[in-house]
A and B are shown apart, each in its own frame.
Chain A
Amino acid sequence: MIRVTLKVNKRPVSIEVEPRTLLVELLRDKLQLTGTHVGCDTSHCGACVVHVDGRSVKSCTMLAVEADGATVTTIEGLAQGGKLHPMQDAFHQHHALQCGFCTPGMIMSAVELVETRPTADEHETREWLEGNFCRCTGYHNIVKAILSCRDAMKEKSA
């Protein structure tokens, strides 16, 4: 067992884990943060995407011990003080989710896009979602929601 110390959704966490524990297992099984999902075993589907030190990563393809010292944000930590993140709100308003299973990973991925590439157009947005599968929405409303969130955030910062 190895002790890992990290920040998850702004809360300090210090916990013993087996080295083989994946970050997603730490989040789901040890911290009961079940909003992060597992949809595949080959690192393709993106249901497990969280932020580590501000960048989106697949938590199924990272060991918990690799997150030692890191700052992790999951879908549960995205809303602030009960107020939804604009991306969460955009997904709701645009019906960008159906079964909801891919949604947490999709939102976390989209948040990095608008934060790091605020001018991303439809094409770039679609390309950005290479690592996020959705089987319900046909991606149509997801792309709409992301573009609308991008515009809203631009307006806010203007």
Chain B
Amino acid sequence: MSTTQTPGQSTPSIGASIPRREDRRFITGAGRYTDDIVLPNQAYAYILRSPHAHALIRSISTDAALAAPGVVAVFTGHDVAADKVGGIPCGWLVKSKDGSNMVEPPHPMLVADRVRHVGDQVAVIIADSKAEARAAAQLVEVDYDVLPAVATLGDAITDGAATVWDQAKGNVCFDWDLGDKAAVKAAMKSAYKVIEIEVRNNRVIPNAIEPRAAIGHYDVSGDNYTLYTTSQNPHLIRLLLGAFVLGIPEHRLRVVAPDVGGGFGSKIYHYAEEAIVVWASKKIGRPVKWTAERSESFMSDAHGRDTVMKAHLAVDKEGKFLGLCVHNVANMGAYLSTFAPAIPTYLSATLMAGCYSTPAIYVEVKAVFTNTVPVDAYRGAGRPESAYLLERLVDKAARELGMDRLEIRRKNFIRKDQFPYKTPVALEYDTGDYESTLEMALQKVDYQGFSARREASKKRGKLRGIGFSTYVEACGIAPSALVGQLGARAGLYEAATVRVHPTGSVSVFTGTHSHGQGHETTFAQLVADQLGVPYDKVEIVHGDTDKIPFGMGTYGSRSLSVGGSAIVKAVDKIVAKGKKIAAHLLEASEADIEWKQGEFLVVGTNRKKSIGEIAFAAYVPHNYPIETVEPGLEESAFYDPKNFTYPAGCHVCEVEIDPDTGVVQVVEMVAADDVGVIINPMIVDGQMHGGLVQGIGQALYEEAQYDESGQLLTGSFLNYGMPRASDFPFFKVGNHVTACTHNPIGAKGVGEVGAIGCPPAVVNAVLDALAPLGVTDISMPVTPEKVWRAIESAKATH
């Protein structure tokens, strides 16, 4: 479908479910992903990775590999050290309670002396073909002295545990806290009851379907570098790679993120392979391409989650929450990935109020190192962990108080009239309407009919349960000054340039990056609406640091609320300039010019100029206010958000459990969300569907499991449970909008809410189904065997 509009007409763009314009290239096989790019004379890199979780490298011999057919070069950590290459930096500094900085270990591009996780990169073999590089890698001889490994978060804090980093005593990276400890202590004392819970947020592997890839190209004629990479944020990679690792100034380094096949957080970070291909390209004088095999992705893409939280909730007799105390242990893995320290702290602890008016909250976070793949943000990043803890805890409180699960939620909701609402954990929620999304969800799921459905399931020998989750999250990352105070080493604004061409078509350059989100469509709808030009005449450009002035990229559900707002600001500047030009052409004073979607009018008359006429005049300035206004019509803007945005909603899950096998089937999944103002409902629904499946995946199927020696047991699709089509019903999603009060669009963000709100709804539904058997706790992922064991042990004790 395409929209046909004539200039000056009001466009139906905002709020229209326009099928995406980017689809055409993807459905015809014309997409251009990093691995599709072939540069003349390119060589292929294969990364030799550690097979051990923890070992000293006694020696590396590369002679045989160097002599193998097709091999161009073999580099090790010693070559990296000799070139004085910097380490992979961490983008966030967290300070411990005592004011000391977190332990920030070095993260070399290639490891020379001591490997710290299975998959750590030890050498790079570069050859004329991928097959030759791979074959030669088998000829590199590495003599390892295997050390005891710390395989899990639990192992890390056990007395006598092995040490991942000598400088991190007890494997602790930082020990941080937030909130009023004394107030919480007092609340516990005065409580009618204190509800206790311990929950583990299982470690998951992002598994975007496109494996990571990178091509480095050093051009000797211009002494400049180009990196093609599977990134959610090319400018961020340019900054980290250029300034911290290889010492290349921005104007000599171009980073291109072409079509990218999904990210979910895992393609935010600066990875060693990106630095390796750029560095190696200069060394060998040829472009160098690296593409991950899936088995490499499992052991080198940053993993997600992996926390254990203990919490105490003080409640009064009526079920009002008085205080909450949370102790969180979070796994950082072997190195600090780009945003890792921020996840359990600023993106999780700050969400511990949830959508409840709990007056006192105190959160401690102990981050630990283990001999595992680094852990960083994965769809939701910190917020799913908080939502999961809170929603499991609230259900447990209801059970222990003999209250209805919805009643206890309603009783503690922050009411519509309480916004803006300042939580005890540093955030100020601008708007929300939690009651309405709850109501909408109940209607969509036909809550009234549940007991009949439960009976029908029972007749078929199945246990049916219903579970709820009412969550809030913070996204639209982020106010720079605020995150700066919190340890971020970068600003988190967004940039945009809007270029109105002489004939009235428009190019928009955005610093966000679309890797499935549909920016090329949504942003065009936004600009068409704001500028009153036809949708078809607006082009969105992203993913190339040489084309786009600047940007921080796409993650944290920020693209529309922050990136879109930057675009709106740039459009505003276009309009402001257009008014001056129009005033001149219409021989009116600027104050009398009124802007109305695509047209500049003289107030109270029918005299007007279209944006197209203004653009033409700007580029052909024959009759033009040349003394005061420059020719051309192009404006750039940076937008730094004033606050986070706070999407919220209610997710309801119904499951059927086969008591003989323990298999859990999701039979209904309802999501009623407030994601703020919506530009393209079809795309928003699609984001919800995808988020829900990742949430259900975490709840039921997915887990990265390590054995005690630090080997990844679930290192391929043979044993890592990826969600499949047959696992799901059609979902029911809906929206109730309260507009964000502090950005010009009113958008909040939708990318992550599905993965944030859904897991506790699923697990609460499982526990509801199993409650009649006496089961009160189960951990994610809720595998058939776990359900079977829970039923068996409940049978034994009841």
Direct contact of A and B (CB under 8 A): yes
Interchain CB contact (< 8 A) of B20 among A32, A79, A92, A135: A92
Q: How far is the CB of A7 from chain B (nearest CB, A)?
A: 17
* Contact (Cβ within 8 A) B261 A34: no
Any chain B CB within 8 A of the CB of A41? yes
Interface string of A124-158 (1 = CB under 8 A from B): 01110110111111111111100000000000000
Given A100-B261, A142-B725, are A92 and B27 neighbors across the interface (CB < 8 Å)?
A: yes
Given A97-B23, A135-B207, are A76 and B28 neighbors across the interface (CB < 8 Å)?
A: yes
* Contact (Cβ within 8 A) B728 A140: yes
Q: How far is the CB of B755 from chain A (nearest CB, A)?
A: 11
* Contact (Cβ within 8 A) B718 A79: no
Any chain B CB within 8 A of the CB of A88? yes
List A contacts of B726 (CB < 8 A).
Answer: 123, 126-127, 129-130
* Contact (Cβ within 8 A) B259 A100: yes
The segment from A51-59, A61-69, A101-109 that touches chain B is: A101-109
Interchain CB contact (< 8 A) of A138 among B28, B682, B692, B718: B692
Any chain B CB within 8 A of the CB of A13? no
Which residue of chain B has the shortest Cβ distance to A91 in the bound complex?
Answer: B27
Given A75-B29, A93-B1, are A39 and B209 neighbors across the interface (CB < 8 Å)?
A: yes
Given A41-B295, A99-B208, A99-B261, are A35 and B728 neighbors across the interface (CB < 8 Å)?
A: no
The winner among B209, B264, B724 for most chain A CB atoms within 10 A is B209
The winner among A97, A100, A129, A133 for most chain B CB atoms within 10 A is A100
**Number of A interface residues, CB 8 Å?**
57
Given A34-B29, A93-B1, A99-B261, are A45 and B209 neighbors across the interface (CB < 8 Å)?
A: yes
**Number of B interface residues, CB 8 Å?**
59
Q: How far is the CB of A132 from chain B (nearest CB, A)?
A: 7
List A contacts of B689 (CB < 8 A).
Answer: 137-141
List A contacts of B754 (CB < 8 A).
Answer: 138
Q: How far is the CB of A78 from chain B (nearest CB, A)?
A: 8
CA distance A93 to B692 in the complex (A): 21
List A contacts of B723 (CB < 8 A).
Answer: 139
Any chain B CB within 8 A of the CB of A40? yes
* Contact (Cβ within 8 A) A134 B209: yes
List B contacts of A102 (CB < 8 A).
Answer: 209, 261
Which residue of chain B has the shortest Cβ distance to A77 in the bound complex?
Answer: B29
* Contact (Cβ within 8 A) A135 B690: yes
Any chain A CB within 8 A of the CB of B382? no
List A contacts of B27 (CB < 8 A).
Answer: 75, 84, 88, 91-92, 97, 100, 103-104, 107
CA distance A135 to B683 in the complex (A): 15
List B contacts of A47 (CB < 8 A).
Answer: 209
CA distance A103 to B29 in the complex (A): 8
* Contact (Cβ within 8 A) B209 A130: no
Q: How far is the CB of B704 from chain A (nearest CB, A)?
A: 16
Given A47-B209, A101-B210, A133-B724, are A95 and B20 neighbors across the interface (CB < 8 Å)?
A: yes
Interchain CB contact (< 8 A) of B33 among A37, A42, A134: A37
CA distance A40 to B715 in the complex (A): 12
Any chain A CB within 8 A of the CB of B31? yes
* Contact (Cβ within 8 A) A35 B210: no
List A contacts of B694 (CB < 8 A).
Answer: 135
* Contact (Cβ within 8 A) A129 B23: no
Q: How far is the CB of A49 from chain B (nearest CB, A)?
A: 12
List B contacts of A134 (CB < 8 A).
Answer: 209, 725
Q: How far is the CB of A85 from chain B (nearest CB, A)?
A: 9
The segment from B320-328, B511-519, B635-643 that touches chain A is: B511-519
* Contact (Cβ within 8 A) B725 A126: yes
List A contacts of B35 (CB < 8 A).
Answer: 34, 38
Q: How far is the CB of A6 from chain B (nearest CB, A)?
A: 18
* Contact (Cβ within 8 A) B731 A34: no
Any chain A CB within 8 A of the CB of B722? yes
List B contacts of A127 (CB < 8 A).
Answer: 725-726
Any chain B CB within 8 A of the CB of A117? no
* Contact (Cβ within 8 A) B29 A135: no
CA distance A99 to B690 in the complex (A): 11
Q: How far is the CB of B320 from chain A (nearest CB, A)?
A: 37
Among B64-88, those with CB < 8 Å from A are none
Interchain CB contact (< 8 A) of B725 among A36, A39, A143: A143
Any chain B CB within 8 A of the CB of A20? yes
CA distance A26 to B685 in the complex (A): 38
* Contact (Cβ within 8 A) B33 A44: no
List B contacts of A84 (CB < 8 A).
Answer: 27-28
Interchain CB contact (< 8 A) of B211 among A39, A44, A122: A39
CA distance A77 to B211 in the complex (A): 25
CA distance A100 to B730 in the complex (A): 21
Any chain B CB within 8 A of the CB of A98? yes
CA distance A76 to B30 in the complex (A): 8
The winner among A34, A98, A104, A125 for most chain B CB atoms within 10 A is A98
CA distance A19 to B757 in the complex (A): 50
Q: How far is the CB of B360 from chain A (nearest CB, A)?
A: 38
List B contacts of A133 (CB < 8 A).
Answer: 209, 717, 722, 724
List B contacts of A140 (CB < 8 A).
Answer: 686, 689, 728, 730-731
The winner among A20, A127, A136 for most chain B CB atoms within 10 A is A136
List B contacts of A130 (CB < 8 A).
Answer: 724-726
Any chain A CB within 8 A of the CB of B603? no
Interchain CB contact (< 8 A) of A99 among B29, B209, B293: B209
The winner among A33, A41, A84, A127 for most chain B CB atoms within 10 A is A41
Given A98-B686, A99-B516, A133-B209, are A139 and B728 neighbors across the interface (CB < 8 Å)?
A: yes
List A contacts of B29 (CB < 8 A).
Answer: 33-36, 74-76, 104
- Identify the 8 closest CB pairs spanning chains A and B, nearest first: A35-B29, A101-B261, A100-B26, A138-B689, A98-B516, A99-B516, A75-B29, A138-B693
Q: A79-B28, A122-B730 are in contact. List 16 more A-B contacts (CB 8 A).
A: A40-B717, A76-B28, A91-B23, A93-B1, A97-B27, A99-B261, A123-B726, A126-B726, A133-B724, A138-B688, A138-B690, A138-B692, A139-B693, A139-B725, A139-B728, A140-B686
A and B contact pairs by CB, cutoff 8 A, 9 listed: A35-B31, A40-B294, A91-B23, A99-B210, A100-B22, A130-B724, A135-B722, A140-B686, A143-B730
A residues with a Cβ closer than 8 A to B are 18, 20, 28, 32-42, 44-45, 47, 74-76, 78-79, 84, 88, 91-93, 95, 97-104, 107, 122-123, 125-127, 129-130, 132-144
